[in-house]
Structure 1
Amino acid sequence: MKPGLFKAVAAPSWQLALATMVAVQMATAFLSRIPPTIAPILAEARGWSDSVVGYLASLNTLGSILFLALGAPYLRALGSVRALQVGLMIGILGLALFLPNWTVTACIAALLIGVGYGPSSPAGNDVLHRTAPQGRRSMIFSIKQAGVPLGGVIAGLALPPLEAAYGWRIALLASAVFVLAIIASVQPMREALDQDRERGLKFGLGVILSVSNLVTPIRALTASSTLFRLTAAGACLAIGQGIWFAYLMTYAVSQLGYSLETAGALYALMQATSVVGRVFLGWLSDRLEAPRLLLRLIGLASGVTSLSLALATPEWPFPIYCIIAAVAGITVSSWNGVQLSEIARACPPALVREASSAATLVIFLGYVVAPSAFAMTLSLTSRFDLGFLACALSGVVCLILVPEE
């Protein structure tokens, strides 16, 4: 971007740094929520089965994993803010590839949106680790992660009405314009927050695929058993979160018989309570000074919430599903900030980007494996309850894995 187009902010406060990260996190999450949000419409228009949404969700996460495994040189060379901006542009390219009436381009679209999402965790963790004051980090990391459900709220509330009024193609165009506005809005923070970038660092294909680049994040993650166990616990929580995010709308439409707009309202309700839930859990973690105990309790609560949906039937009244969705926003999808803050606290300061990348990579494996396994189970059995039972079990495993303080 042209230097004179936006006035740079010199030495931004931690509040401005946090606002920048929340805005970008919201936009990246918004892009990642588009495939599951419009999947019922695309499935009807293109003759897809309900299981396709799981494969698209897995491809989306696979794209993020590719960046997390290979993208460290880009983060160091571009700086965290610029890497986030580039990621959003890649996501917009992914939106364009949903337009052709080909399944293969839809798969590539989901993959590219995932690649664009990839920088959000390591880049955001890097900026906040450098700027956030001690004693507030769990809350600050959780506020940043609240941008994820906020993006989901916007997707769930805005896209179905736009699709109903103007068609899904116009909904995608409006989404691209929204993301472009976010890219422009964070530009003034770039120079100050990216001062530590390694100017002149080469990041060609040879560097990206080098053995050193591939093993450095893994070495950072395996530096201690605490880091590894925290990461494995996060992967268990990601199983539940990934399935709920990918399948709640499809479950509501196909299994419960609700309209797309009603399903979108349920999805938005879950995302809305997650905005509040993430901030609350971050505040509670700092207040109690026992983040790992809180993570264990979250794992148990996540399992119980998923069990309730596994036992649900279409005869249950709609308000019950609203309550379940609202509770899930806290118990299933509000753990990320507390967990990422613990990852950053447990690793050496010089390796925050690398350890965060590796930890997020492992967590994202849960997002890949879970929706795909759910899709295969659904194809073989036509039963949604089995997948939600697996979510319940993963919450219990998280309870066991989280290490002591």
Structure 2
Amino acid sequence: MRTRTGYTLRSMVEHDVAAPLAITFTHQAVGSFFLMTAPVLAPLIADRADVSSSLIGSYTALAYLAAMAASGLSGFAFARLGALTTSTACILLTVAGLALLGASTPWLLGLSALIIGFGYGPLTPASSHVLAAHSPPRWKNTIMAAKQTGVPIGGTLAGLSMPFLIATLGWGWGLALPAAVGLAIALVILTRCRSIDRRTPPPAQGRMGPENAPLGPWMLSLGAGAFCYAGVQMSLTAFLALYFVEHLGLSLAAAGGMIAVFQMSGLVARMGWGTLADRLGERIPFFVVIGITIIAAVGIFLAVARPGASPAALILATMVLGTFGNSWTGLYFAEIIRSVKLNEMGRTTGIALMFTFAGVVVIPPLIGLAVTLTGFPAAFALIGLLGGFGAFAGRMARRVSR
């Protein structure tokens, strides 16, 4: 059956989209799984390392600081190795970082964050470059949204599986099993990655910076919106498990289930936003609308997710939060794909990600400080306020559209 946007599985294969999409989706899912493992296990990691659980925001910030550096350097690796081959090598890095997550000393946990972050950073620039080369223009929003669903799927699997694996197998084998799976996936897809890289136009070479990248008012405004939205998404991701465990008194397993609800809601919403954007085009400023909905979603969550709330109410509130607080990235990268040349895609996406990663580096530690000083409700209210700032920045980007 053909959808209104004009694509079927057969047509995706004919247009050489299916295999690149499947591989980039896999890279995003595996990388997200390993990156999300620390926030999911935050209470256990804090007890094991004898640190405050609110410092998980600093772990996340450190990981994304490394990711920001890696995304800025990724264009050089893409030009020499190919985008997908580079991504596969990065998955191997995240496997190594996961192995260190079982350490009981803070400095080894910091090293784990740096290694996982450095491996995670190039995944989105690589996928954007490859999919921009292989996707027909009328499908770009939906294809980008489909690829980005790998992120919440990876987070969902981490939320559902890691508390169970650690409780059942202990720290050693509980971390070794997903690491072995990640290693096997990387080795299995490596040959196909090389084949696709040979059919993909290489990225423009040279150093990224203001002199050869779109860092004008449009990119700065759009990037400011991404800075805010990324801070919202990662703050929710980093502190949601702690909110359920420490503020509401849920078990770690139940909190992991709520994280899965949050991630899966974002997965469905990403596809919905992408499909709407493909159908309605420029008529509705979706990148602005998402910020407004974030304010409402956080307000609903705080009103419902209180001590004594029923499980059904908590699930519903978490679904709302995930639908609007964890679904913006496909719209961001689709905006960029429509606005830059193909041979600039990898480098430009790397720059765009630096805004995103900056939000992740700066905002979660500040939210962690707010949790310590004011408690969870006030800190989450600040997260919602960031959605408003993101909407304003998105509006400015449309006014100075390139």
| TM-score (normalizing by structure 2) | 0.90
Aligned partners of 1:346, 1:159: CA distance in 2, in Å?
Answer: 40
Any conservation in 1 of the 2:98–2:116 contact (CA below 8 Å)?
A: yes
1:320 maps onto 2:313 in alignment = yes
Aligned partners of 1:271, 1:352: CA distance in 2, in Å?
Answer: 27
Post-superposition offset of 1:221: 3.2
Q: Are residues 277 and 119 of structure 1, via their aligned partners in 2, closer, same or farther at CA, if it must alter by over 3 Å?
A: same
Runs ≥4 in structure 1, deviation > 6 angstroms?
none
1:289 maps onto 2:281 in alignment = yes
- Residue correspondence of structure 1 range 229-244 to structure 2 within 5 A: 229-244=221-236
Q: Are residues 313 and 169 of structure 1, via their aligned partners in 2, closer, same or farther at CA, if it must alter by over 3 Å?
A: same
Post-superposition offset of 1:313: 2.4
Aligned partners of 1:78, 1:305: CA distance in 2, in Å?
Answer: 42
Post-superposition offset of 1:197: 7.5
Any conservation in 1 of the 2:38–2:45 contact (CA below 8 Å)?
A: no
Any conservation in 2 of the 1:306–1:388 contact (CA below 8 Å)?
A: yes
Structure 2 alignment gaps of length 5 or more: 1-12
Q: 1:46 aligns with which of 49, 53, 62?
A: 49
Aligned partners of 2:278, 2:66: CA distance in 1, in Å?
Answer: 33
Post-superposition offset of 1:339: 1.0
Post-superposition offset of 1:123: 0.2
SS of the aligned residue for 1:399 comes to: helix
Amino acid at match of 2:350: S
Post-superposition offset of 1:302: 1.1
Match of 1:147 in 2: 150
Aligned partners of 2:53, 2:214: CA distance in 1, in Å?
Answer: 36
Q: Are residues 183 and 309 of structure 1, via their aligned partners in 2, closer, same or farther at CA, if it must alter by over 3 Å?
A: same
Aligned partners of 1:351, 1:68: CA distance in 2, in Å?
Answer: 14
Q: Deviations over 1:356-385 (max 9, x none)?
A: 00111111111111111012222333x112
Q: Are residues 291 and 324 of structure 1, via their aligned partners in 2, closer, same or farther at CA, if it must alter by over 3 Å?
A: farther
Structure 1 alignment gaps of length 5 or more: 1-9, 202-211
Indicate the RMSD between aligned Cα atoms, in angstroms: 2.1
Amino acid at match of 2:259: Y
Post-superposition offset of 1:219: 4.2
Post-superposition offset of 1:198: 6.6
1:192 maps onto 2:195 in alignment = yes
Any conservation in 2 of the 1:125–1:352 contact (CA below 8 Å)?
A: yes
Match of 1:97 in 2: 100
1:275 maps onto 2:267 in alignment = yes
1:156 maps onto 2:159 in alignment = yes
Post-superposition offset of 1:138: 0.2
Q: Are residues 177 and 398 of structure 1, via their aligned partners in 2, closer, same or farther at CA, if it must alter by over 3 Å?
A: same
1:221 maps onto 2:214 in alignment = yes
Any conservation in 2 of the 1:231–1:343 contact (CA below 8 Å)?
A: no
Any conservation in 1 of the 2:261–2:318 contact (CA below 8 Å)?
A: yes
- Identity between Structure 1 and Structure 2 (%): 27
Post-superposition offset of 1:292: 5.9
Match of 1:358 in 2: 351
Amino acid at match of 2:209: V
Amino acid at match of 2:262: M
Q: 2:383 aligns with which of 380, 387, 391?
A: 391
Aligned partners of 1:221, 1:250: CA distance in 2, in Å?
Answer: 39
Aligned partners of 1:389, 1:291: CA distance in 2, in Å?
Answer: 30
Any conservation in 2 of the 1:310–1:384 contact (CA below 8 Å)?
A: no
Q: 1:257 aligns with which of 241, 246, 249?
A: 249
SS of the aligned residue for 1:347 comes to: coil
How many pairs were matched up? 382
Post-superposition offset of 1:12: 8.1
Q: Are residues 292 and 274 of structure 1, via their aligned partners in 2, closer, same or farther at CA, if it must alter by over 3 Å?
A: same
Aligned partners of 1:235, 1:42: CA distance in 2, in Å?
Answer: 27
Larger deviation, residues 95-104 vs 116-125: 95-104
SS of the aligned residue for 2:53 comes to: coil
Aligned partners of 1:83, 1:120: CA distance in 2, in Å?
Answer: 8
Match of 1:346 in 2: 339
Q: Are residues 91 and 226 of structure 1, via their aligned partners in 2, closer, same or farther at CA, if it must alter by over 3 Å?
A: same
SS of the aligned residue for 1:289 comes to: helix
